[in-house]
Amino acid sequence: MTGSEPISLDAFRKRKQKEKAEKPYPGTLVWLQCPFCESIEYTEIVAPHGRTHKCGTMVKEIEVEVDLRAEYTITQFNLNQIDTLLGKNKESRLRKLISRSLDDALLALKTSEETYISRLHQAAGCQIPVYPGTIEELKDRLPIREKNKLGLYISEFRFEPEKRFEKKDDVDHQD
């Protein structure tokens, strides 16, 4: 072995751990729009032959390739932020009285975030780990579109889904 160095088992393990920590979990989520009800929903289930909405109308579908791990990491941060906001509302009696409707809204938001996590796990087919690090360290690597007034992050996938259908409709009308 001329000119080659022995492989360090420790360096090899560290490299593999780093690769695993940065490994994305690619997946597909689908936005659905019912033209009759004008409702927009998402699902983790791809239906290659289309699907019918509960009103009986064939829905428009747009498949979006996402990093499920990034979506999960953002959503976990959002859940922690919601818990923090709920905790702040319980600190004083006055705040408790004033914030009852805010608490209800936060609890509904928390339920929707938990549902989203459940669907991410179903799309991945396994448990998804969060990316290591703080949200501040990960901001540049995650598909974050904006931060709302509550301090929650909105990912590219969840940002203004109705515009995905407008773009497609505009292209259809130009033909």
**What would the pLDDT profile of 15-63 be if each residue is shown by its tens digit?**
777 766 678 899 999 999 998 888 889 989 888 888 888 888 889 999 9
Helical packing angle, 68-89 and 100-124, nearest 10°: 160
What is the number of structural domains in the chain? 1
Whether the pLDDT of residue 109 is over 70: the answer is yes
**What would the pLDDT profile of 133-173 be if each residue is shown by its tens digit?**
888 888 888 999 999 999 999 999 999 998 888 754 444 44
**CA 98 to centroid of chain Cα atoms:** 31
Residue 29 within any structural domain of the chain: no
Q: What local confidence, expressed as pLDDT, does residue 175 receive?
A: 41
Q: Where are the alpha helices (DSSP H) in the chain?
A: 9-22, 68-89, 93-98, 100-124, 135-138, 162-174
- Domain span holding position 162: 68-174
Residue 83 within any structural domain of the chain: yes
User: Cβ contacts of residue 30 below 8 Å, gap of 6+?
Assistant: 42, 43, 44, 45, 46, 47, 61, 62, 63, 64
Q: Is the model more confident about 104 or about 4?
A: 104
Over the Cα atoms of the chain, what is R_g? 21
Residue 166 within any structural domain of the chain: yes
pLDDT tier for residue 98 given thresholds of 50, 70 and 90? confident
Q: Is the model more confident about 94 or about 58?
A: 58
Give the three-state DSSP class for 9: helix
Residue 138 within any structural domain of the chain: yes
CA 15/CA 10 separation, integer angstroms: 9
Residue 125 within any structural domain of the chain: yes
Q: What local confidence, expressed as pLDDT, does residue 70 receive?
A: 94
Residue 89 within any structural domain of the chain: yes
Give the three-state DSSP class for 174: helix
The stretch 114-123 carries a mean pLDDT of: 95
The stretch 109-119 carries a mean pLDDT of: 95
160 dihedral zone (left: phi>0; alpha: psi -120 to 50; beta): left
Pick from 25, 43, 24, 23: nearest CA to 33: 43
Q: Is the model more confident about 6 or about 60?
A: 60
Residue 82 within any structural domain of the chain: yes
Residue 170 within any structural domain of the chain: yes
Using a cut of 0.85, tell me whether the model's pTM lies above it: no
